[in-house]
Amino acid sequence: MSDLLNIQNLEISFQSNNKNLKTVENFSINLNEKESLGIVGESGSGKTLSMLALTRLLPKQASVSSGSIIFQNRNLDELDNKNFYKEISGKKISMIFQEPMTALNPVHTIGKQLLETYLYHNNVSVEKGIERALEILDAVKLTKYKQRMDQYPHQLSGGQRQRVMIALALINNPSLLIADEPTTALDVTVQKEIIQLISDLRETIGMALIFISHDLGVVSQISDNVVVMKNGEIVEKGKTLKVLEKPNHPYTQGLLDCLFKLEDEQKKNQIKDTPIIKVKEISKSYKLPAKIFKKPEIIYAVKKVSFDVKFGETIAIVGESGSGKSTVAKIINGLINKDEGKVEIKGQNIEDIEISDRAKIIQPVFQDPYSTLNPIHTIGYIVSRPLTINQNRSESEVKEEVIKILRLVGLSEEYYNRFPNQLSGGQRQRVAIARAIILKPQILICDEPTSALDVTIQSQILDLLNDLKTKLNITIILISHDISVVKYFSDRIIVMYNGEIIEMGNTNNVINIPKDKYTKRLMSSVFSLKK
């Protein structure tokens, strides 16, 4: 096998406030023809930037300050931009991105976008171009691909758009495909199909692949070799299986620990037999805006959903986006009104409980810690609000209590006067949890509490929740699409699909012997480490 790509000592710096910040240093990789390489790291580790440098798509403030890139025995540094775009981009090296919803031009048809990319690099007739476009759409297994040519991106689902995106990247038979977290924005069941597709196409086309991901599980499935990055530097590289078996660097070890820990047993609460929450046949529907000459369409977000949650229990609601899991959580929380049905908390109808009393029983933790904290208030103020609103206490008492709670979630007293923008994502989520538990609620509703966080941070937050659960004896409703988190954390699982509950049962039963067809698909789409 011959060398396809050789990057030596790549260094990327960012210009900010007249200072040059090095964001990637000493980045060297070597890639053979048809090889697949995974680049793993957390957000900000420089894994995407280094690849954008290769494809000359770096943001304006960033620039390559040193290093050499040799591709197919050509020194790319000697190629000016114009020739690079004409000869390399999209022709020899293609790239697919994380967000398929916005990666395609909304005002042009799928066919036009494919055709233009093909004709731009190949001097052939339009008929030949159309032929090739159809061929590649068929290759990416897009259903009804002939009709798709005249469709616009907004008429396709996320998974279908990512297939089109892959078709667009592969239409010129590139020698190297760079996939930057191509499945992160997709539902789990779709994820697996896309990974499989990329893997298959690599074989048939015979191209090399660089797969960027934060998910070691996914990378272990698809790549021969792996590079682990941290803070702009490569900390470990080697054969994927070897690195996963015997990691040399403590950071890699840490990443692996996070994964394996999720397979361990969890702490259990004392579960009483009496239910704390009773949900009876609740429904919530939305009317689509009426069109002229048409009856308004009604869409059910939640349809006749019933379940009980026992004192001390942790129950997980899983499903893909649009399945209605968040709507159920919001209804129980009293954040939106239901159309029908009944929600009882400790035997009382949720509508009959005063809002201030409800706040003492039930509290939410949301997904995105970056937008849930008001940026103009200090951490101390944010955490103290539930106390000052609901209870009459002196200022010093409140401060004392807030600091106690901050300690409980693993933040020191110093954070009291800080602002949210001075905190990392994980620290912010700790603040959000502190705010939620300061009134000592009996129920926490956690809506994807870790999915916006990096893996190592994820496991810390899960540890914290697990710890608090037993310490404060809290009942938790966990909304998640991540089966490994659910497995680690919950006693029972509810699976939702299209607004309805399709399966419910003990965690181990549902995961190991799923009954419903959809649940089976959901469980099989979890990537565990390949060994």
Partner 1 sequence: MLRFIAGRLIVGSSVGLTLSIVTFFLLNYVIDPAQAIAGEDALFEEIEQIREQYGFDRSITVRYFEWFSGIFQGDLGISYYWNKPVISLLIDRAPETITLALMSVSVTILISIPLGILAALNPNSLIDRIALGIAVTAQAVPNFWLGLIMILIFALAIPIFPVSGDKTLFHFVLPSIVLGASSVPAVMRLMRTGLLDVINADFIRTARSSGFYGWRLVFNHALRNALLPVVSVLAVQLGNKFGGSVITESVFAINGLGRLALESILGADIPTVQILVFVFAIIFLFFNLLADILNAYLDPRLRL
Tell me how far apart the alpha carbons of residues 8 and 370 are, in angstroms, rounded to a whole number.
Answer: 36
- If binding is defined by CB under 8 A, does position 14 make contact with partner 1? no
Q: How far is CA 227 from the centre of its chain?
A: 21
Q: Which of 45, 94, 162, 240 binds partner 1 (CB under 8 A)?
A: 94
Q: Judge whether 71 and 92 are in contact, CB under 8 Å.
A: yes
Tell me how far apart the alpha carbons of residues 130 and 115 are, in angstroms, rounded to a whole number.
Answer: 6
Q: How far is CA 518 from the centre of its chain?
A: 21
H or E stretch covering 493: strand 492-497
- If binding is defined by CB under 8 A, does position 442 make contact with partner 1? no
H or E stretch covering 73: none
Binding mask 135-164 for partner 1 (x = CB under 8 A): -----------------x-x----------
CB of 108 to partner 1, least distance (A): 8
**Cβ nearer to partner 1, comparing 88 with 486:** 88
| DSSP 8-class letter at 78 | G
CB of 222 to partner 1, least distance (A): 20
Cα-trace Rg, the chain: 26
CB of 529 to partner 1, least distance (A): 31
- If binding is defined by CB under 8 A, does position 104 make contact with partner 1? yes
Is the torsion defined by CA of 271, 276, 280, 285 positive or negative? negative
How many Cβ atoms are within 10 Å of 397's Cβ, its own excluded? 12
**Cβ nearer to partner 1, comparing 152 with 381:** 152
Q: Per CB under 8 A, which region of 24-32, 92-100, 459-467, 507-515 contacts partner 1?
A: 92-100
Binding mask 40-59 for partner 1 (x = CB under 8 A): ---------------x-x--
- If binding is defined by CB under 8 A, does position 81 make contact with partner 1? yes
Q: Per CB under 8 A, which region of 10-18, 90-98, 416-424, 470-478 contacts partner 1?
A: 90-98
| DSSP 8-class letter at 89 | B
- If binding is defined by CB under 8 A, does position 324 make contact with partner 1? no
Token pair of 371 as six digits? 């937008």
- If binding is defined by CB under 8 A, does position 80 make contact with partner 1? no
Sequential DSSP letters for 343-364? EEETTEEGGGS-HHHHHHHEEE
Specify the residue for token string 């986006």.
321
Q: Per CB under 8 A, which region of 100-108, 123-131, 247-255, 265-273 contacts partner 1?
A: 100-108
Q: Which of 3, 33, 42, 116 binds partner 1 (CB under 8 A)?
A: 116
- If binding is defined by CB under 8 A, does position 91 make contact with partner 1? yes
Q: Per CB under 8 A, which region of 32-40, 70-78, 94-102, 122-130 contacts partner 1?
A: 94-102
Total residue count of the chain as it appears in this document: 531
Tell me how far apart the alpha carbons of residues 340 and 287 are, in angstroms, rounded to a whole number.
Answer: 15
CA dihedral 78, 84, 87, 91 (to 10 degrees): 130
CB of 144 to partner 1, least distance (A): 18
Query: CA 347, 509, 216 angle in degrees (round to 5)?
Result: 110
Specify the residue for token string 């591709």.
71
- If binding is defined by CB under 8 A, does position 18 make contact with partner 1? no
Q: Which of 70, 79, 103, 472 binds partner 1 (CB under 8 A)?
A: 103
- If binding is defined by CB under 8 A, does position 121 make contact with partner 1? yes
Sequential DSSP letters for 113-167? HHHHHHHHHS---HHHHHHHHHHHHHHTT-TTHHHHTT--GGGS-HHHHHHHHHH
CB of 400 to partner 1, least distance (A): 48
- If binding is defined by CB under 8 A, does position 333 make contact with partner 1? no
Q: Per CB under 8 A, which region of 37-45, 83-91, 221-229, 364-372 contacts partner 1?
A: 83-91
What are the phi and psi torsion angles at 381 (to 5°)?
-65, -45
Binding region for partner 1 (CB under 8 A):
55, 57, 81-82, 85-86, 88-91, 94-95, 97, 99, 102-108, 116-117, 120-121, 152, 154, 165, 168-169, 291-292
